[in-house]
Amino acid sequence: MGTSTASSFDLIGPTALAAAYSRQFSDIPYALEIAQKVDAQTVFEQHTGHHLERLTTLVLWIESRYKAINHLIAMFGYTQIIELASGLLPRGMAMSENPNVTFVESDLPAMIDFKKQLVMQLIGERRNLQFEAIDATSIPSQFPIDADYLHDSEKVAILCEGLLLYLSFPEKERVCANVRNMLQRYGGVWITPDLSTKDGWYRLQEINPTIHKTFQAIYNTTGRSLIDNCFNDMEHARQFFIEQGFCVEEYKLIEILGEISDLERPGIDSDQANHLLATNSVFALTLNS
């Protein structure tokens, strides 16, 4: 199998700015500082054609999946963390405040260079926060197997939030192969909300029809369709990952309802919010022994 070309993914970057704009309206540490530093609002409005107040459902979804991932990290308790396609996510800065955590941010070369400069401006250098240029779909793997900052005796938590949504199924398989190799080496878990289904996207659009325009803007920017790259339904998603050698555990976003920063923000309908959180999940994937 050939190595994928990183340049084919470079256009995905602006969507990281849009997500950063959404996260600033939560209480997620460093989210506001990042959004302001990169002028995320301007980019968001340029690429979607509308203002955030029309996308309150999207804001809720982005905040809840971020916090659900953090919830699972704490539940598993692993202190070696590798985040794929970390983009403008603030998780590395927040979690590396704990000196016992080794956090590895990774993304395509241009994006991770930009992120490293941004982090240096906001918090300076931390010895336990690493930055690696990694195309998660690359064969051979670019994952940091045997990196000197990882300890053989400690398991790893591999994260991705919004990566698999953009990838074709052959690309998803290559990511699975790379994650599988990493977990075979260290043990641990892969945490992601990215088992998105066509059913789920259609439900999201029913709750907030404006989101369809956002999907179209993403396609216009990246050339990649969120809908076309989705699983048909959850059974399709589960079967896919089982065939890739993983066990799949599902955790509903409603489980972290109490951690959502502002369910009273304008435009949020409590019934719609509860429905969104009850019908969306984050997943823990472990190797099928």
What gap in Å lies between CA 86 and CA 221, rounded to an integer?
19
> In this structure, is residue 1 part of a structural domain?
no
Tens digits of per-residue pLDDT, 220-234?
Answer: 666 666 677 889 999
CATH number of the domain to which 13 belongs? 3.40.50.150
- Tell me what pLDDT residue 5 has: 41
- Tell me what pLDDT residue 239 has: 97
Tokens of 137: 């779909």
What is the arithmetic mean of pLDDT over 209-228? 65
Domain span at 213 = 6-287
What gap in Å lies between CA 77 and CA 234, rounded to an integer?
27
Split into its structural domains, the chain has a count of 1
Cis peptide before 90 (omega within 30 of 0): no
What gap in Å lies between CA 34 and CA 29, rounded to an integer?
10
> In this structure, is residue 166 part of a structural domain?
yes
> In this structure, is residue 88 part of a structural domain?
yes
Token pair 């369709």: residue: 225
> In this structure, is residue 274 part of a structural domain?
yes
> In this structure, is residue 240 part of a structural domain?
yes
